[in-house]
Structure 1
Amino acid sequence: MVVREETSYDLDKKIWDSGMGLCSWIHDFVTGQSGSPSPELDFVWQLFTSDSDPINVIELGTGTGLVSIWLAVSLGNKVHSSQGRQVKIVATDLPSAIPLIEHNIQSNAHLFAPGTTDENPVEKDLFPTGVDLIIMADVTYNIDVFPALIRTLGRIRAAPRVTSAVGRKVTQPPPVLLVYKERDSAERTLFDLCNEISINFKIISHIPGAGGNPIEVYVAS
Structure 2
Amino acid sequence: MHYIRFCRPPEVQAGRSQASVKIVLTITTDLSDAFLSPRNPVPLAVIGAYTERGPGGDGADRLIPAPLTAAGSPPTWRAGMRVLKLDLPLPPLPRPLETLQIRPLSRQLAALATSDVLPGDRGLIMPVYADMPREPGAVGPSVCFRSLRLSAGDGRGGAGAAAAAAAVPPLQIEEDLGESIARHIWDSGVVMVSMLADLCSVGSPAGGGGPLPRLRSILLQQLHRPLNILELGCGVGVLGIGLARILSLAQQAEAGAKEPPHILMTDLPEAEGKARANIARQAGSFEVAPADLDFEPLDWQDGQHGKFGGKAGSRAWDLVVLCDCTYNTDTLPPLVKTLSALHGHTARLGSSAAEAPTKTEVLVATKPRHSSERIFFDLMSADGWVVREQTVLPLPLLDAEGQTVEVYLFGK
Q: Cα gap change, 1:134/1:115 in structure 2, threshold over 3 Å: closer, same or farther?
A: closer
Match for residue 280 of structure 2 among 106, 117, 120: 106
TM-score (norm 1): 0.84
| Native 8 Å contact 1:40 1:220 kept in 2 | no
What is the one-letter code of the residue matched to 1:18?
A: S
Verify: 1:213 aligned to 2:403, yes or no.
yes
Match of 1:5 in 2: 175
Check whether the contact 1:191–1:201 (CA below 8 A) recurs between aligned residues. Answer: no
Aligned length: 218
Q: CA separation of 1:39/1:162 partners in 2, compared to 1, >3 Å: closer, same or farther?
A: farther
Deviations, residues 79-136 of structure 1 (Å, cap 9, x unaligned): 3775462310011112111111111111122212335555455753446451001111
Deviations 1:128-157 (A, max 9, x none): 451001111110121111111112101101
Percent identical pairs in the alignment equals 27
Matched, 1:30 2:200: yes
Query: 1:30 offset after TM fit, Å?
Result: 1.4
After superposition, the Cα gap between the structure-2 partners of 1:218 and 1:93, relative to the gap in structure 1 and judged at 3 Å, is same
Paired residue for 2:229? 57
What do you get for the CA RMSD once the two structures are aligned?
Answer: 3.0
SS in 1 for 2:390: strand
Distance across 1 between alignment mates of 2:389 and 2:225: 27
Return the structure number with greater helix share: 1
Amino acid across the alignment from 2:262? K
Greater CA deviation, 144-153 or 5-14? 5-14
Distance 2:193 2:219 in 1: 18
Question: Aligned to 1:61, what secondary structure does the other structure show?
Answer: coil
Matched letter for residue 64 of structure 1: V
Q: Residues 41 and 175 of structure 1 are in contact (CA less than 8 Å); yes or no, is this contact kept in structure 2? A: no
- Separation in 2 of the partners of 1:220 and 1:36? 19
Task: Check if 1:42 corresponds to 2:214.
Answer: yes
Q: Distance in 2 between matches of 1:194 and 1:93?
A: 20
Task: Please point out which of 333, 336, 340 is paired with 1:154.
Answer: 340
Q: Which amino acid aligns with 1:104?
A: N
| 2:372 equivalent in structure 1 | 186
Change in Cα spacing, 1:141 to 1:41, as seen in structure 2 (3 Å) is: same
- Deviation of the 1:218 alpha carbon: 0.9
1:196-220 residue CA offsets vs partner (Å, 9 max, x unmatched): 1111235522211133421111111
Structure 1 distance, partners of 2:289, 2:355, is: 29
- Could you say which residue in structure 2 is the equivalent of 1:138? 324
Alignment equivalent of 1:175, drawn from 328, 346, 361: 361
d(CA) in 1 for partners of 2:231 and 2:248?
16
TM-score of the two chains, using structure 2 as the length reference: 0.47
Which one scores higher on RCO, CA 8 angstroms, separation ≥ 6? Answer: 1
Cα displacement (A) at 1:78: 2.8
Please give the alpha-carbon distance, in whole angstroms, between the structure 1 residues aligned to 2:290 and 2:174. 24
What runs of 5+ residues in structure 1 fail to find an aligned partner?
none
8 Å contact 1:29–1:35 — kept in the other structure?
Answer: no
Q: What is the distance in 1 between the residues matched to 2:172 and 2:258?
A: 29
Distance in 2 between residues matched to 1:191 and 1:7, nearest whole Å? 34
Confirm or deny: 8 A CA contact 2:272 2:295 kept in the other structure.
no
Which ranges of structure 2 fall in alignment gaps of 5 or more residues? 1-170, 298-308
Paired residues of 2:236 and 2:275 also in contact (CA < 8 A)? yes
Partner-residue secondary structure (3-state), 2:395:
coil
Q: Structure 1 counterpart of 2:410, which letter?
A: A
With over 3 angstroms needed to count, the CA separation of the structure-2 counterparts of 1:17 and 1:34, relative to structure 1, is: farther
* Aligned CA distance change for structure 1 residues 117 and 189 (closer, same or farther; 3 Å): closer
Q: In the alignment, residue 210 of structure 1 is paired with which amino acid?
A: P
State whether residues 231 and 266 of structure 2, in contact with CA within 8 Å, keep that contact through their aligned partners in structure 1: yes
Cα separation, partners in 2 of 1:176 and 1:46, compared to 1, 3 Å: closer
Give the structure 1 partner of residue 250 of structure 2: 78
